[in-house]
Every structure is written in structure tokens, then in C-alpha cells.
Amino acid sequence: MPFYDMSRIEVLISEPDLQARIRALGERITRDYAGAGELVLVCVLKGSYLFLADLSRAIDLPLTVDFMSVSSYGHGFKTSGVVRLVQDLSESIEGKHVLVVEDIIDTGLTMGYLLENLQTRRPASLKVVSLLHKPSKARVPVQIDYLGFEIEDRFVIGYGLDFQGRFRNMPFIGVNTGAGAPLAPAAPASPAGAHP
């Protein structure tokens, strides 16, 4: 039994649909960057870790990966609008082709901040790939060079996206349809000595 309760989750994007779209994105990126020089995938933690893992394997080019973590002050459903750099890249991106890998662009505040910050480091190019986009919530215009799926304004979980830190490890993108977190009831503790 999964740890989440499928009777309280609507599947918005299934695992096969995610994987097919990511393969297609990888093929386009492979074509666009072929022969371009050094490519760096910058993963925006934590939400993009699964997308990076799958997308990087769908790109048939030599590349490096690096990680950045930003926090938008606030927990739960809402972005506060104030972005703070929590963890910086480990290497310089000067002269490199940078592709920022993001899970979702909602208001655009996070990506707006990131792009402004990264541009000052003089990369050879700076582009964005986002798995999801909620166009109805845009507050800052952000050019998304490669997009997985446009979705309506609903709070989504799974495939890296969390609610209060959890549900990142669901293999699909879903929406909680009940009140509270859609957790399956805890399994009864196994009796002492029951382990083989």
C-alpha cells in the first residue's frame, strides 16, 4: 500500500505522461545545445531534484550539474514574494551555457530573482526549463525556454513537489482532493518477533 491515499488524490499528470514529456524536452535540448560548448544544468533545490535526474538522462550531451537552493520565506501554499539565497552554486558559471532546471513557475518571483542573480555572473547563455507553469498566477514575466506542462492554478504535489516537505517521492503529479494531507492511515505496528 502506498504511503499516500489514492482516494484523496487526483492524478493530474501520470508517471508515463511525465516521462514521455521529459524525453521530448531532452531531445529538443540535445538538438539546441549540440556543439555549443560547456553546458551546466542548475538544479533549483529541493523541488527539482527528480526532474533534474530524469531530464539530465534524457539529454545526450556532455554536461555538468550544479545545485542552488532558494527559499521564498513562508511555508505551505503561498509564496511570500521575498526570495533568499540559501545555498549557492559550487562552481563559477562564467562563459558557460547555463540551463536552470525548475519544478514549477508560479508567480515567477523565484525565477525572476534567480535569473537576475545568475546573469551578473556572465554566463555564455542563460535559459530556463520548467516542468510546470501556472500562467494565471504570474506576477513577474519570466521567459520559459522549455516547458513541460501548463497547469491551472491548483496546488500540486509529487514528483519533487511538496506539501510541508512531504509527498516529493510520489512518482506522479497530483492534487489533494480532501481536507488535510492525503496520507494513508498508518499500518498497524508489526508484532514483536514477526520479522523473519
Residues annotated catalytic, as ranges: 106
Examine residue 108 and tell whether it contacts ligand IMP (CB under 6 A): yes
Question: Which of 73, 77, 50 lies closest to 163 in space, CA to CA?
Answer: 77
Q: Does 182 bind Mg ion (CB under 5 A)?
A: no
Q: Is 109 in the site for ligand IMP (CB under 6 A)?
A: yes
130 binds ligand IMP (CB under 6 A): no
Residue 107 interacts with, from ligand IMP, Mg ion, none (CB under 5-8 Å by kind): ligand IMP
Q: Which of 18, 25, 39, 161 binds ligand IMP (CB under 6 A)?
A: 161
Stretch that binds Mg ion, among 39-47, 112-120, 123-131, 132-140 (CB under 5 A): 39-47
47 contributes a contact to ligand IMP by CB under 6 A: yes
DSSP notation for the chain: --SB-GGGEEEEE-HHHHHHHHHHHHHHHHHHHTTSS-EEEEEEETTTHHHHHHHHHH--S--EEEEEEEE-S--SS---S--EEEE--SS--TTSEEEEEEEEESSSHHHHHHHHHHHTT--SEEEEEEEEE-GGG-SS----SEEEEE--S--EEBTTB-BTTB-TT-SSEEEE-SSS--BPPPPPPPPTT---
The least CB distance from residue 35 to ligand IMP, in Å, is: 31
Taking residues 83 to 122 in sequence order and writing x for each that binds Mg ion by CB under 5 A, - otherwise, the string is: --------------------x-------------------
Site for Mg ion contains 26 (CB under 5 A): no
Binding site for ligand IMP (CB under 6 A): 47, 72, 79, 103-111, 155-156, 161
Binding site for Mg ion (CB under 5 A): 47, 103
